[in-house]
Amino acid sequence: MDVQLPQITQAWTKLKALLMGQPAIIADAESAEGKLSLKDIARIYPHHHPKATVEKTLLYNPIKADLAINYHAADKDVAALPEAKNAKHRIKQQVDISTLSEHTRFIGREHQFIQLTDSVTRWQQNKGELTAVTGPAGSGVSSFLNQFHHWFLTQQATRQTEAVHITYLSFYHAALTTKETIANLCYCFNINDAPASITAAIALINKQPAHVIIIDDLHKLMLRMMGNYQALVTFATILMETRQRHCWVLGCETYVWHRLSSQYAITNFVKFVIKLDYFGLSEFRDVIQSRIAQIGLHITDNQDDDAEKLAFEQLTKQLHQATGGHSKLACVLIFHALIQDDNHPLTIAPLCLPDLTSLKQCSDDDLFSLAELYVHGGLRIFQHAEIFACSIEQSALKLEYLCRQGLIKAHYSKQDFAQHYYVITPTLTRLIASHLVNHNKLYL
């Protein structure tokens, strides 16, 4: 009799999950007990069409605001910041931070929000300089910039003075020529007939009505291919020569910012750098508390409030240690552990923590590929092939192997397999970046 133990183990895991009413996410046989493989983590999130209400709420919905508490408390927190003693007064002359989105809120970002608003205020006072918002992948740079965009629009709607235009965008394709760069920057102002020279482009952009331009994912513009260096120089030149007329805000991943600083001395041109990071334990606790409140999760089976609070503290400490403050990964681990039973309140089983075995088994070639994917924000097969000076077929096999391990996500092209696009799995960005740093593939 041919007995296959991995299949028996997997069958028992499925049966146990059904009996306990857990979500139908079954760990691979390669996962150790009490661990969740990176492949399974990638399988849980993201989905193109999440179906379960709990899944949508926990993994996809924004944090619900408690405006009466959050924003009045934010005022007090702001006043306590040494750097913001005078900044708060200046901001209040321009805006009212209580008008932030009623559907979302940010935790632990008040200081950075003041810094960004203060940068815009200086530009309005004819002291414009380039501003960058940096943070590691998954720390919320895009969310932060989107929220600022929404807040600024709300402020414009309530002002009696002439409105200032604001645009939020991200260039998903890196420019490889000066002409492409000029066309991209003219696109920010809805200029379709872009001039041919840098001088003409600067003159034309400076004639446009004053704009706040937020360009997110700056790392996607830095592509190590022929022509990209001159394209980046053109990009920086136009921004520098138009910074008095327009307020440029750039979002960039931290490790890419370090590379731009060392290779291109970008800090010589960008005066204000606003830094985000993953959540510290206190902020992380607030995020998790908000999330589990939305789904009505009971951590303990009894009604003892003290026991519930103690269990919550233990849960958040365990999650923070396992995820390093990456809130989306923490929500995935919670979702996997949920016990759903229509006859009982939503509860949670002991957490399965990430199993890094597949990452530790990666060769140096695999890690170099992951590092390039990380700093570029994603690569197509032909781009990977050019960076590593190998064939399209070799790159396709390498990237698909990493995809099968759950380390990267694929966006497939139906027309040309060389156009398949791969990105680091969103929930694994911190784990992968830490591993790459420890193995000297990413540099601080």
Cβ atoms of 417 and 396 within 8 Å: the answer is yes
One-character DSSP codes across 320-361: HHHHTT-HHHHHHHHHHHEE--TTS--EEPPPPEEE-HHHHT
- Give the pLDDT of residue 25: 45
State phi, psi for 254 to the nearest 5 degrees: -60, -50
- CA separation for the pair 28, 26 (Å, rounded): 6
- CA separation for the pair 37, 30 (Å, rounded): 7
SS3 category, 62: coil
The dihedral through the CA atoms of 309, 54, 43, 284 has a sign that is: negative
- Give the pLDDT of residue 95: 43
Assigned token pair, 393: 């077929």
Task: For the chain, list the domains and their CATH numbers.
Answer: 5-63+280-355 (no CATH), 67-99+109-275 (3.40.50.300), 357-438 (1.10.10.10)
Cβ atoms of 416 and 392 within 8 Å: the answer is no
Rounded (10°) CA dihedral 374, 375, 377, 379:
-80
- Give the pLDDT of residue 70: 36
* Identity of residue 435: H
Closest CA to 122 of 236, 218, 204, 243: 243
The beta-carbon contacts of 383-390 under 8 Å, at least 24 apart in sequence, are: 383/223, 383/225, 384/422, 385/418, 386/225, 387/224, 387/225
SS3 category, 295: helix
Cβ atoms of 267 and 261 within 8 Å: the answer is yes
**pTM for this entry:** 0.81
- Give the pLDDT of residue 164: 84
Burial class (CB in 10 A: 0-12, 13-18, 19+), 75: middle
Going residue by residue through the chain, which has 444 residues, state the pLDDT in tens, using 9 for 90 and above: 333 334 443 444 444 444 444 444 444 445 566 899 999 999 999 887 777 888 988 998 876 544 333 333 333 333 233 333 333 333 333 444 444 444 455 677 889 999 999 999 999 999 989 999 999 999 999 999 999 999 898 887 777 556 788 999 988 788 889 999 999 999 999 999 999 999 999 999 999 999 999 999 988 888 888 888 899 999 999 999 999 999 999 999 999 998 888 888 888 889 999 999 999 999 999 999 999 988 988 888 777 788 889 999 999 999 999 999 999 999 999 999 998 877 778 889 999 999 999 999 999 999 999 999 999 999 999 999 999 999 999 999 999 999 999 999 999 999 999 999 999 999 999 999 999 999 999 876
Q: Identify the residue whose tokens are 């007990």.
A: 33
Query: For residue 249, what is the DSSP state?
Result: E
- CA separation for the pair 301, 346 (Å, rounded): 10
